[in-house]
Amino acid sequence: MSDNQNQASGASGGTTDQTGASQRGADQMRNAAQMSAQLSQEMIQRAGQNFEVMRRIGAALNAGGRSAGNEFAEYVRHTAQRQQEMAQRLAQARTPSDVLDIQTGFFQENLRELLGLTERLSQNTAETARQAGQGIGGQNRS
């Protein structure tokens, strides 16, 4: 009978091992599920942060684009006004030398205006890039 008792106690020990292994497996699955949920939350949070950065960059670029558009519209308006003034002055010119002087002055004014526009657009671009960079940098500091 002692053999039967040994077999019974061995079977009981096997059940305990199986229960422990099942518990460990359940704990591992629970930990994996918790890590997966935490990872999902972090990904959602980062996606939200990325969206906010892109929104800030878009706002800066939009403002920069509007400013550049306004600068260019003002340049076109000034150029049209100068052309009209030049036409009136040319109509009043008395000599070929007067015509040449009027045209030379007109082209010089146009060149100065164009250089000024280029400078303003360059400054606008630098400011827009700075603001967009702050949108990115500001998010990293948070």
* Residue-level pLDDT at 56: 84
* Residue-level pLDDT at 141: 44
pLDDT average per 10 residues of sequence, the chain (142 residues): 50 68 87 89 89 84 87 91 93 93 93 93 89 69 43
| 36-55 per-residue burial string, b: 16 or more CB within 10 A, e: under 16 | eeeeeeeeeeeeeeeeebee
Closest of 75, 69, 72 to residue 110, by C-alpha: 75
